[in-house]
Structure 1
Amino acid sequence: MTVSPTLQKYLDQSVTYDVIPHTPTMSSNRTAEACHVPGESLAKAVVLRRDGGYMMAVLPASHHLHLSALKSQLGHKVDLASEDEIEKLFEDCERGAIPPLGECYGLDVIVDNSIDARREIYLEGGDHATLIRIDGEQFARLTAKAWRGHFSTHD
């Protein structure tokens, strides 16, 4: 697999991007290491269950999500989605390689403020061996409708 078809179609309509193949990895931190990119610049997706539906939190790979902070900012009951739920939402992606652009999958998104300052953003392409590089301003444009907040801390 390479770039997920849903993500590729979305990016092709909106931005200029580079595809970076790499040796397969099983975590976002290992992907950052394998590709020699800062973990602060690799955006990872966390899929959440909220009010009978789903949404996506986006944060740097080098950060941990604080679910309690996210719950207080959103004012909703929010829990982590199960792997089975995620697999149904992202049928064209490998398990654990979800692109952090939930809008192209019909999800509401909240982006951690810490990622907005990055000049370049790297994204999972939908498998464990493909990374996408886009300009930080283009990422901001792609996530312009997303909520913003502070809900993570650096490892």
Structure 2
Amino acid sequence: MHLRHGGKQQLSEASMSISPQLETFLAESCTNYEVVSHPYSERAANTARSACIPDRTMAKAVVLKDGNGYVMAVMPSRNRLMLAWLNMRLDRNLKLVQETTLQDLFPDCQPGAIPAMGIAYGMKTVWDDALNTVADIYIEGGNHRELIHMHRNEFQKLMYGQPHAAISCDIEEEEAYRSC
């Protein structure tokens, strides 16, 4: 693990393993964060277990598109995106992006390890209000072995000006919300 504060860093073996574009964005934003290494895992919920962190603190990214462009939705890993809610809140007609398109959008990331920080890639990002309820937030670092860990205040600072709303629900509550 290594810490980065305000763009200054203490280097370790893993220091260059996160997405270069994400690393540059965090440095230019003077963000306090740390890189957390974990055993190889795929899917955000599995990564939370692998890294021994609460799944509500692991943020996952879902990339969407409509005729007006791309949007990244960010929510806790255990939640399901409620696309109808998101479309209503943004007054859009967003659909899931095909996996094959993601490599073009995130060329410095491994497939399935997209950082939940679309703004680092020039993409509008909408984030779920559930992330306001946790003190720490973890996002994929662009690979299947490192996470970015930051305090909620740092995450909110980075998301300033990006919309947020209730856009997802806990997987156990999904059926109840779908009937609404």
SS at match of 2:133: coil
Scaled by the length of structure 2, the TM-score of the pair is 0.83
Which residue of 30, 46, 50 maps to 2:62?
46
SS at match of 2:138: strand
Larger radius of gyration: 2
In the other structure, the counterpart of 1:100 is 116
Q: Distance in 2 between matches of 1:15 and 1:52?
A: 30
Q: Distance in 1 between matches of 2:156 and 2:76?
A: 14
Q: Distance in 1 between matches of 2:114 and 2:164?
A: 20
User: How many residues are paired up?
Assistant: 155
Which residue of 6, 16, 39 maps to 1:23?
39
SS at match of 1:94: coil
In the other structure, the counterpart of 2:85 is 69
Q: CA deviation at 1:52?
A: 4.2
Alpha-carbon displacement from aligned partner over 1:32-89 (angstroms, at most 9, x marks no partner): 0011111111111100012242110000001011111111111111000111111100
In the other structure, the counterpart of 2:96 is 80
In the other structure, the counterpart of 1:124 is 140
Root-mean-square deviation (CA, aligned residues, Å) is 1.1
Letter in 1 for 2:128: D
Q: Which ranges of structure 1 fall in alignment gaps of 5 or more residues?
A: none
Q: Distance in 1 between matches of 2:128 and 2:66?
A: 17
Q: CA deviation at 1:117?
A: 2.2
Once the two structures are aligned, what percentage of the paired residues are identical? 34
In the other structure, the counterpart of 1:110 is 126
Q: Distance in 2 between matches of 1:50 and 1:100?
A: 19
2:7 matches 1:7? no
Q: Distance in 2 between matches of 1:101 and 1:22?
A: 20
Q: Which ranges of structure 2 fall in alignment gaps of 5 or more residues?
A: 1-15, 172-180
Q: Distance in 1 between matches of 2:20 and 2:66?
A: 26
